[in-house]
Amino acid sequence: MTSAPPSAPPFALIATDLDGTLLRAGDTVSARSYAALATARAAGAQHIIVTGRPVPQVRHVLDGLGYTGLAVCGQGAQVYDTARGHLLHAVEMDRELAEEALGKIEAEIGEVWAAVDQEGVDAAMLIGPGYRMPHPHLPTVRVRQRADLWAAPINKVLLQHPELDDDELTELARGVVGHMVNVTMAGEHTVELQPLGVDKASGLALAAEVLGVGGSRTIAFGDMPNDVPMFAWAAHGVAMANAHRELVAVADEVTLSNEDDGIAVVLERLFG
C-alpha cells in the first residue's frame, strides 16, 4: 500500500508586518511567535517580513531575529535580500515632485513638519525642523532647513502637523495631492508620501514572485492602514486586536494583539 502524499500547507507564504504586529515592545519577538513561525516553515510555508521601515532602520531587527529571507522594506519601495545584504529592487521618489506635493499640502493646511528616508542600504533618515521622531531609538540626522532634505535620492517623505491628528492629516493630504503621490498612514505620527503605485502590495508581489508564490496562497498580518493594500493582494488578511479601524474594516479576521502573540494564535490553528 502506498502512503498518501503529504498535504500542502494551508498557505504557502506568511507575510508579517513588524511594528505593532510581529514585534513586541523593544523590537522583540516572543518565543511563542518564533515557535509558531518555525512550525509553519517546517510544514512548507515561507515567511516574509513586510515593513514600512527602510532597510537601514530595520536591518538591526532582522539581524537580531536571525532572519535571512527576503524583506519588503520602505513601504514597498525596497525588496531586500538579507542573506546577501543587497537590494533586489528599489524605487526612488522624484524629489521635485515631493517638494511640490509638500508645497500644495502646506498651501491648504499650513506648515507641516517633514522628514525623508534616503535611498540605499546605508542611507540616512533626515529630519527637518519641528519633526518629532516617533521611534527615538532609530538613527536619524537632523537638518537645519527644508532644502537639506533633498540633498540625495529618497524613497519617501514623512509628514506631521502641529495640530491635526494622523487621520485628519492623511485625509486632507490625500485630498490635495492624492493624484500625485501615494498618501498612507503607517503608524503613530507617521503619515507618508511615496510615488504612485508604490505600497506594501507592490513590493510584496515582487518579492513573492521571486519566491514562486502568488497572492492566492498568501496570508498577511498587519495593524495599520498601510497594510490595506497588502490585505487586498493576499488571500487572507489578519488584523491585530490593536489594529487601526481602517484595516479592521477590510480584514478577514481579527486576532489578539502583538503583545498577546496574535500571530502565533492564528498560525497554531492553521499549522498545528
Per-residue pLDDT tens over the stretch 174-196: 999 999 999 999 988 899 999 99
Strands 218-222 and 13-16: parallel
More confident residue, 146 or 1: 146
* Cα–Cα dist 35/14, whole Å: 14
pLDDT band at 134 (very low <50, low <70, confident <90, very high): confident
More confident residue, 135 or 235: 235
- Which candidate, 61, 42, 11, 67, places its Cα nearest to that of 221? 11
pLDDT band at 168 (very low <50, low <70, confident <90, very high): very high
* Cα–Cα dist 83/264, whole Å: 25
pLDDT band at 138 (very low <50, low <70, confident <90, very high): confident
- Which candidate, 271, 265, 236, places its Cα nearest to that of 22? 265
Total-model pTM: 0.94
pLDDT of residue 25: 87
* Cα–Cα dist 99/161, whole Å: 16
Q: Which amino acid is at 272?
A: G
pLDDT band at 6 (very low <50, low <70, confident <90, very high): low
Residue 251 has pLDDT above 70, yes or no: yes
Q: Which of 24-38, 130-144, 235-249 has the lowest mean pLDDT?
A: 130-144
Encode pLDDT of 35-77 as tens digits.
999 999 999 999 999 999 999 999 989 998 889 999 999 999 9
Are 74 and 157 in contact, with CB atoms under 8 Å apart?
no
Residue 1 has pLDDT above 60, yes or no: no
Q: What are the residues whose beta carbons fall under 8 Å from the beta carbon of 41, sequence distance 6 or more?
A: 47
Strand partners for 16: 49, 221
Mean pLDDT of the chain: 94
pLDDT of residue 272: 84
